[in-house]
Amino acid sequence: MSEFVSVFKTTSANEAEIIKNTLAAAGIEAFIDGENQAGFSGIFEINVVVDSEQESAARETLAQ
């Protein structure tokens, strides 16, 4: 079973989507966790997560 790790945290759903798309363009499948915040948008953390096997590649991509 795959384990997922957070590689980016934000309170902005738009920013999370941009990060997810950046990773996808690099061939890294990412998911957004915590995006559904109902009326509390911008308050709680949203995590962009990847498979633990792709963590290093994802962090390197985001560092660029």
pLDDT band at 31 (very low <50, low <70, confident <90, very high): very high
pTM of the model as a whole: 0.83
Predicted pLDDT of residue 2:
78
Per-residue pLDDT tens for 5-23?
Answer: 999 999 888 999 999 999 9
Average pLDDT, the chain: 89
Q: What is the DSSP string of 7-59?
A: EEEES-HHHHHHHHHHHHHTT--EEEES---GGGTTTS-EEEEEEGGGHHHHH
* More confident site: 1 or 22: 22
Mean pLDDT score, 51-60: 97
